[in-house]
Structure 1
């Protein structure tokens, strides 16, 4: 994106400039430039991007807010358009075990809550005993009940402090509302965190199930997320794909 000096260009189509900017911004939101639920660039950045003043950007955002297309909280403005977020096909899907491709025969449910995590989670994330945190629960099963996957994730204090998109969920983490965090790893990377994950796969005794635990930490060895997944051990239950960068 080329950097320009913000100034209000004259308009010739009869509509106020801020409405034209609102229309252009809405177009970018709809084409996935900023996926639903994710934070928009600040007013200064938008002013530079569109070549107008910050006041014009502020008026354009107010138009979109009145129409319910943008919401603003203490962390900034974010798109509220309906529809699934745009995804990079090479990105790592959250949580471990989630289906990369939607299965119309599967029944998926994901919720978030603010509660005290299990002791194993707290220890892995360096949380004090009985300290609550953001927890995510994912469950998926075929219509016939087979292929059941249950994942429980706890996030660390570091993850909530560094990743705004995750922190935003605290106020609505009532354990009932649907909460798709499929882009959680993309949010972490965009926050400047390099992700390292360690997965341990253990067959469960006397059952056809497999347990997978994942611990994710950043480039400073700070824990970010711990997930405990139990999945029916069907032949195609777990598929791991890795993309390695070429040597420079």
Structure 2
């Protein structure tokens, strides 16, 4: 079942077109990887999926992005509700300068989801889901910025899932992490995919091959002025027998 359907999506920064006719189906409870050379619009496209680009003046979207068959760009769409349903994990960990507990409790508190004992239960469940509880349970009031980078990223994941999203977007979530921390986050992604649709941007071909179920290859259009998806398939197919020569050149290291 598709969680997100994108059809003929175009995106503009002012007069500059950044994306052209992007089309993709994102299945529920699977990991979809977006790969491709720098500058082809992967992160821009990812931010289109929860309207984070709305915060940039002068941007414009054409085409459709459907979440459970409802157009998220339709007039009157509730953007706050959308961003609760479609969370974002960024390239560098960005914990708030607060305690570990306060970081995870922030969303549920603001949204009025729980308080008191219920809030503590949500914090614990989220930290457990992020494979972090055993490492921080004795220091929940400690400064989140005192954690290692890998722990901070898992804390940000815990903070994201605390508000019970349906989709998790990840923009190169391991690029700032060491190999051991990277493998922990990858293991976490595979576990989270049992409950969430996940879309990840990565430049690490090995990571895409290890964690994703589907892989979409993005490239610049022929005029090299905007990005688009040129091929999407099951990850083993993309990495062993892609249909587009440009995809094969990229995944084998001959290009990009």
Alignment TM class, shorter chain as reference = under 0.3
- Name the TM-score, length of structure 2 as normaliser: 0.26
What is the TM-score of this pair, normalised by structure 1? 0.26
Q: Which has the higher helix share?
A: 2
